[in-house]
Amino acid sequence: MILILSFSSLLLSVVLLQLGSGALGPFDVISGLALGFSDRQLGLLGSAHFIGFITGCWWGPRLIGSVGHSRAFACFAAIGTIGILLHMMIVDPWVWALLRTLSGLSIAGCFTVIEAWMQAKVSNQNRGRALGIYRTVDLAAGGLAQLLITFLMPAHFIAYNILAIICCASLLPLIVTRLPPPVTPQHLRLQPLLALKISPMATSGVLVAGVTAAGFRMVGPLYGDRIGLDISEVAIFLAFYTLGGGLAQYPAGWLADKIDRRQVLIILSFASLLTCVMTMFAPLDRIWIIYLCSTLFGFASFPIYSVAAAHANDHSTIEKMVELSASLLFYFSIGAILSPFLLALLIDRFGPASMFFGIGLVYLTLAGIGGIRMIIGREKHHITPYVYTPRTSYFIGRLLRFKRRPRDD
């Protein structure tokens, strides 16, 4: 309890950020549908968000170094608020895409500040508990954000004002906190090729995670609309995906610590492929089956990023792990930038079921890569523990600080 209270201001900011930013993505799609945006334009909104996200990850540490943690957070939160408020002032899909880059930049920058602040305040004695609380709050707020859109009227300025207020409110906990800001961190030098050199399998895994997670979250509302779901049903459909991902963390972690992690990635890939096939042929008149498919898809696909990151850390030196986390997040962002537009294009050309056909092909490819790496690669007998890794900022690598242990043979 003392630990929760000591980080309460940071955790409250996480909740508010997740509520505002997590709801904006699907709500933009629903509002765009009401305004007559095309499927391709709606996909572009999701891709634009992650262009801003990767920019914010790069700029965040530099701004912290220039103006400090509190001012950097205020700057990023203000950018996000401005982006939300301008939506109903300039109703144009291309302008909205630009505004979504601002929201992506804002969320990446804000989480960079929070995770840098947290990393500076935790110790080796409470690091595990602090991360556990942080991950729980992150997942719970992400799930609630999907349900928030049920209460918002599409394409209405009041709805966007509510999201802007939530984004603005995330400033308050850090402004009134008594926690002194930490020492300004060193800039993180991004080495995009590092992950590919250390582990092609892990790089493939995080790239696929970016393609599927971002595609599902950003284009999922379009899929739901095309199969006849209303707004509340779309919200529940997305929330069940997050719920499935949360439920998967313990069993996925247990399995990843017991057997070769390449095998775990192959198992998860085939399980995700199976859920894609199930969703493609699910009877659309039975909503509970649609919800079940969403839950199972989240259960199978959500842990892939964390398993891939743990596999990469097994092959890295302790000194390289922070830069490796940044490199992995870079590849996740690349996949996340490409997928919303491409999946929306598939729906536009071939119908809603084609979204899961495209995602299924990606998982089939990952399983094939895993099989090849099993043949030509060698398993590491010194492993790092599996942990759920939020895809929020490059500073998550500094928070984790894995310790190696021998694998039980």
Instruction: Check residue 318 and give its pLDDT.
Output: 67
382 three-class SS: strand
Q: What is the DSSP letter of 159?
A: H
In the predicted model, what is the mean pLDDT of residues 139-166? 92
- The answer to whether the beta carbons of residues 107 and 80 sit under 8 Å apart is yes
Query: Distance between CA 119 and CA 139 in Å, rounded?
Result: 19
- For residues 308 and 387, give the distance between their C-alpha atoms in angstroms, rounded to a whole number: 11
The residue with greater pLDDT, 409 or 61, is: 61
Q: What is the per-residue pLDDT across 298-312, written as a single tens digit (0 to 9) for each?
A: 999 999 988 888 888
Least reliable range by pLDDT among 124-133, 338-347, 367-376 = 124-133
Structure tokens belonging to residue 348: 């536009």
pLDDT (tens digit, 9 = 90+) per residue, 384-403?
Answer: 666 666 666 666 666 665 55
User: Between residues 163 and 397, which one has the greater pLDDT?
Assistant: 163
Q: What is the pLDDT of residues 332-366, one digit of tens each?
A: 989 999 999 999 999 999 999 999 999 999 999 99
Report, as an integer, the average pLDDT of 227-251: 92
The pLDDT value recorded for residue 116 is 76
- Contact residues for 138 (Cβ-Cβ < 8 A; gap 6+): 14, 18, 390, 392
The stretch 71-98 carries a mean pLDDT of 94
Measured over the CA atoms of residue 64, residue 67, residue 70 and residue 71, the dihedral's sign is: negative
Q: 409 pLDDT band (50/70/90 cuts)?
A: very low
Q: Given this model, what pLDDT does residue 70 score?
A: 83
Residue 347: closest CA among 219, 218, 208: 219
Which range in 127-131, 290-294, 377-381 is most confidently predicted, on average pLDDT?
290-294
Q: Which two tokens stand for residue 352?
A: 């809603």
Nearest Cα to Cα of residue 64 among 402, 408, 395, 404: 395
Among the ranges given (8-17, 30-39, 60-69, 352-361), the one the predictor scored with the smallest mean pLDDT: 60-69
pLDDT at 14 over 80: yes
Report the share of the chain in percent with pLDDT over 70: 83
Most confident of 51-60, 189-198, 206-215: 206-215
Query: How far, in Å, CA of 74 to CA of 81, rounded?
Result: 10
Give whole-number Cα distances, 75 to 78, 82, 158, in Å: 5, 11, 23
> What is the DSSP secondary structure assignment for residue 391, as one 8-state letter?
S
pLDDT at position 85 over 70: yes
| Sequential DSSP letters for 166-210 | HHHHTHHHHHH--SPPPPPPPPPPP-HHHHHHH-HHHHHHHHHHH
Q: Considering the chain, what is the average pLDDT of its residues?
A: 86
Q: Which region among 10-19, 155-164, 342-351 has the lowest average model confidence (pLDDT)?
A: 10-19
What is the predicted pLDDT for the residue at 5? 52
Relative to beta strand 382-383, strand 405-406 is antiparallel
Which pLDDT band holds residue 191 (cuts at 50, 70, 90)?
Answer: confident
Average pLDDT over residues 12-25: 90
In DSSP terms, which residues pair with 405 in a beta bridge?
A: 383
What is the Cα gyration radius of the chain? 20
Assigned token pair, 201: 């399998």
* C-alpha–C-alpha distance, residues 349 and 226, integer Å: 13
pLDDT band for 404, please (50, 70, 90 cuts).
Answer: low
Residues belonging to the chain? 409
Are 146 and 232 a contacting pair, CB within 8 Å? no
Q: Is the pLDDT of residue 151 over 70?
A: yes
Give the pLDDT band of residue 319 (cuts 50, 70, 90): low
The model's pTM = 0.88
pLDDT at 383 exceeding the cut of 70: no
Q: Measured between alpha carbons, how far is residue 395 from residues 11, 137, 272 in Å?
A: 16, 17, 29
Tens digit of pLDDT for each residue in 37-50?
999 999 999 999 99
- Measure the CA–CA gap between 131 and 36, rounded to whole angstroms: 42
Rounded mean pLDDT, 172-183: 73
* Residue bearing tokens 């999907």: 146
Question: Please, are residues 324 and 401 in contact by the beta-carbon 8 Å criterion?
Answer: no
Say how far apart CA 291 and CA 234 lie, in whole Å: 10
